[in-house]
């Protein structure tokens, strides 16, 4: 008994069938950042990794002199990876490359771009602004300082700790 031509055709197509190769390529500005994808270290940018599933991935990039970037990357499914086309795409006699390209821009650390004096001046300025905001909030009478700048005297009823309430 001879095999039917249709059966031979199916086996021939199966032998020649390609596949869909899925890859994520990650680049950064500047290059050379260490990359983690879902907490697995991939290497330094530019880098790439194979993936199986479309969706959102956790991405972390680190480079000396730059702020650590923790973000996400979305591996969108192209039209041919949705049912029922996905079955046909897998059965085609050639390979299809599904490449997701993600590019990230890193921010330099302030320590790398500002002098020590400028950083200290900025800190003092922010502290002064914060103090002004706090001073603008009305406080209950029992917590206010007297005009001489001294805190109220300790209350003997609380053991002399100076704290009110309990």
Q: Could you tell me if 130 and 48 lie in one domain?
A: no
Q: Return the half-sphere exposure (C-beta side, CA atoms, 13 A cut-off) of residue 43.
A: 9
* 128-144 residue pLDDT tens: 999 999 888 887 777 66
Is 166 contained in some domain? no
Q: Could you tell me if 83 and 132 lie in one domain?
A: no
For tokens 């990650």, name the residue: 26
User: Where residue 50 sits, what CATH number does that domain have?
Assistant: 2.60.40
For tokens 């300025």, name the residue: 125
Number of domains in the chain: 2
Is 155 contained in some domain? no
Question: What DSSP letter does each residue of 98-124 carry, written as one string?
Answer: EEEEEEEEPPBPHHHHS-HHHHHHHHH
Q: How confident is the model at residue 166 (pLDDT cuts 50, 70, 90)?
A: very low
Q: Could you tell me if 40 and 67 lie in one domain?
A: yes
Its domain, for residue 125, covers: 110-137
Contact 108, 66 (CB under 8 A): yes
Query: Which pTM was predicted?
Result: 0.56
Per the structure block, which two tokens stand in for 57? 């991935």
Q: Could you tell me if 14 and 69 lie in one domain?
A: yes
Per the structure block, which two tokens stand in for 84? 């029922």
């Amino acid at each position: 008994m001879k095999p039917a031509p249709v059966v031979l055709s199916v086996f021939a197509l199966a032998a020649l069938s390609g596949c869909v190769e899925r890859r994520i390529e990650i680049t950064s500005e500047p290059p050379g950042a260490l990359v983690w994808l879902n907490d697995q270290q991939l290497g330094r940018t530019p880098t790439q990794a194979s993936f199986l599933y479309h969706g959102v991935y956790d991405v972390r990039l680190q480079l000396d002199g730059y702020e650590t970037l923790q973000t996400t990357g979305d591996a969108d499914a192209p039209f041919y990876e949705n049912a029922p086309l996905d079955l046909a795409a897998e059965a085609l006699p050639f390979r299809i490359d599904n490449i997701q390209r993600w590019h990230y821009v890193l921010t330099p650390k302030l320590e790398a771009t500002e002098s020590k004096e400028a950083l200290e001046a900025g800190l003092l300025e922010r502290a002064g602004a914060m103090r002004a905001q706090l001073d603008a909030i009305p406080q209950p009478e029992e917590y206010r300082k007297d005009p001489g700048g001294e805190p109220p005297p300790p209350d003997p009823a609380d053991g002399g700790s100076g704290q009110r309430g309990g």
